[in-house]
């Protein structure tokens, strides 16, 4: 995974995230005032309070949705989540039909974009060691429901981007804060689920897409920077963005395959002509 060229890794990241960006603006078909207000709030907040642009946008969207009576508050229930131990049961059929496909999908659709995020944001991480750590953690926590721990892609793109901190060495604070928030959200899982259900789907789509605009832009900028890799990067981006699924494997994997083949052909032809 570390051998993926930077242009292709950035294009992969942009392709994964761009789908959320498209959904944000597609939501305008059914909730135009809401999306326009959130977009305007985001643009203005990015100018005046760039670090708090997303929370400001969320507050604006929730306020309008509540004013129009679109919030389904009845779906929200306040209760603590309680972990339940599930004894593992091993079988050959489960290994073949569940474990192996889940492993392939996790590697291709999560870990691969996760590595792309690291590469695109300039972090040189020991990928093999990290994958080993996630595997061991999954082995220990699987009986409690954490059966597919993997690299983060979307959350990592936000936490590793310049919006988290101008100094790349201090962006870890965003990840620590995110982990603390996840812990709280885990304890109040029912409340969070209720809130997401209470929000109009257009609001959820819009805030997700707007929150990722910076990461999408950075990914595209790096992807097309090197002219010799530009076409291969665009192929990677478009295949990934397409959402195509072949043999049960998502478009992130096939985007890298298509882009790598294109780059191989282009570079081979260049070396031959030289």
Q: How confident is the model at residue 168 (pLDDT cuts 50, 70, 90)?
A: confident
Using the predicted structure, report yes or no on whether residue 199 has a pLDDT greater than 90.
Answer: no
Q: How confident is the model at residue 178 (pLDDT cuts 50, 70, 90)?
A: confident
Rg of the chain in Å (alpha carbons): 21
- Top pLDDT among 259 and 142 is at 259
pLDDT digits (tens, 9 = 90+) for 69-88: 888 777 677 777 777 777 77
The string of DSSP letters for 67-107 reads HTT---GGG----------------HHHIIIIIHHHHHHHI
- In 3D space, the residue among 57, 62, 63 whose CA is nearest the CA of residue 40 turns out to be 57
Residue 120 has which token pair? 């695109």
pLDDT digits (tens, 9 = 90+) for 224-254: 888 888 899 999 999 999 988 887 778 888 8
Q: What is the largest CA-CA distance in the chain?
A: 69
**What confidence score (pLDDT) does residue 101 get?**
67
User: d(Cα 126, Cα 146) in Å, to the nearest integer?
Assistant: 23
**What confidence score (pLDDT) does residue 59 get?**
93
User: d(Cα 141, Cα 149) in Å, to the nearest integer?
Assistant: 9
Q: How confident is the model at residue 1 (pLDDT cuts 50, 70, 90)?
A: low
**What confidence score (pLDDT) does residue 84 get?**
72
pLDDT digits (tens, 9 = 90+) for 13-67: 889 889 999 999 999 999 999 999 999 999 999 999 888 899 999 999 999 998 8
- Please state, for a pLDDT cut of 90, what percent of the chain lies above it: 23
**What confidence score (pLDDT) does residue 3 get?**
67
User: d(Cα 71, Cα 64) in Å, to the nearest integer?
Assistant: 10
pLDDT digits (tens, 9 = 90+) for 83-112: 777 777 788 887 777 777 677 777 777 787
**What confidence score (pLDDT) does residue 32 get?**
93
Q: How far is CA 274 from CA 227, 268, 271, in A?
A: 18, 10, 5
pLDDT digits (tens, 9 = 90+) for 143-153: 777 777 888 77
User: d(Cα 161, Cα 209) in Å, to the nearest integer?
Assistant: 15
Kindly tell me the burial class for residue 78, based on how many C-beta atoms sit within 10 Å of its own C-beta (0-12, 13-18, 19 or more). exposed
Q: Left if phi > 0, otherwise alpha if psi is -120 to 50, otherwise beta: which for 78?
A: beta
> Domain segments of the chain: what residues?
6-273
């Amino acid at each position: 995974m570390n051998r993926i060229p930077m242009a292709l890794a950035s294009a992969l990241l942009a392709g994964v995230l761009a789908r959320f960006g498209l959904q944000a603006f597609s939501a305008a078909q059914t909730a135009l005032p809401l999306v326009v207000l959130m977009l305007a709030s985001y643009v203005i907040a990015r100018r005046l309070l760039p670090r708090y642009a997303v929370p400001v946008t969320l507050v604006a969207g929730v306020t309008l949705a509540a004013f129009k009576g679109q919030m389904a508050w009845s779906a929200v229930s306040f209760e603590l989540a309680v972990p339940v131990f599930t004894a593992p049961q091993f079988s050959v059929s489960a290994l073949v039909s569940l474990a192996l496909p889940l492993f392939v999908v996790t590697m291709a659709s999560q870990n691969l974009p996760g590595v792309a995020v690291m590469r695109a944001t300039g972090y040189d991480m020991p990928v093999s060691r990290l994958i080993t750590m996630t595997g061991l953690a999954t082995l220990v926590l699987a009986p409690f429901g954490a059966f597919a721990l993997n690299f983060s892609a979307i959350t990592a793109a936000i936490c590793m981007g310049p919006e988290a901190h101008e100094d790349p060495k201090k962006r870890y604070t965003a990840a620590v804060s995110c982990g603390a928030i996840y812990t709280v959200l885990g304890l109040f899982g029912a409340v969070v689920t209720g809130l997401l259900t209470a929000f109009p789907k257009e609001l959820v789509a819009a805030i997700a897409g707007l929150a990722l605009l910076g990461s999408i832009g950075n990914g595209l900028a790096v992807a097309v920077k090197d002219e010799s890799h530009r076409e291969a990067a665009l192929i990677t981006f478009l295949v990934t963005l397409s959402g195509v699924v072949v043999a049960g494997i998502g478009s992130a994997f096939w985007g890298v395959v298509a882009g790598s083949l294109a780059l191989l052909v282009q570079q081979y032809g260049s070396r031959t002509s030289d």
